[in-house]
Structure 1
Amino acid sequence: MEQSRELLQEVFASSAGLPILRRVLTCLLAASSEEPQRVISTLQAVGSSENFELTAMFLSEEEKTLISRIFEVLENSTGNPINSCLRKQWIPA
């Protein structure tokens, strides 16, 4: 999880990030309780990549479940609710 914000944005701004998104989310879930701030930073970086709104619209059910579980673990680990903007970014209404 030592990737730069710019690299994450670049990878997920292109279609190159789509095939690995589920694996990235799985890794983030595993790290959520140990390194919550890094996980949040990674979610923010990926979520701020160009065209992420389109990616979020086409998340699979499995990816949506992973994201919900990540948010749940993060909230339990930090004792704070997930920022509503970050939540809306990843789980659009």
Structure 2
Amino acid sequence: MEGLKRFTKGDLSQSELEVIKRVFDLATKQSWFDDTQYSRDGFAAALVGLFRCGMVNPTQLERIAMFWALSDFSQSMSNTQRAKLRSRYSRCEVER
């Protein structure tokens, strides 16, 4: 949960954070998820962003997040996709 907290900058309640964590854990435990730190961090940032944009219904958040994770954070992603993800994530690191 601590990893997710840094992406929320402390502005979400404990119950909101628990919803995000449940969806995060569900997606990252899938056998197809690319279990690397930059994928986990990139997905966490995307998930928090979805929540902040109003996707607060847990069922809807889960559905969209699972499709997003499968599309952008799959083990089968190409090397080009991996490089783009690393690049996007490294920009997030600079902004923090």
Return the TM-score normalized by structure 2.
0.31
Q: Which has the larger radius of gyration?
A: 2
Return the TM-score normalized by structure 1.
0.31
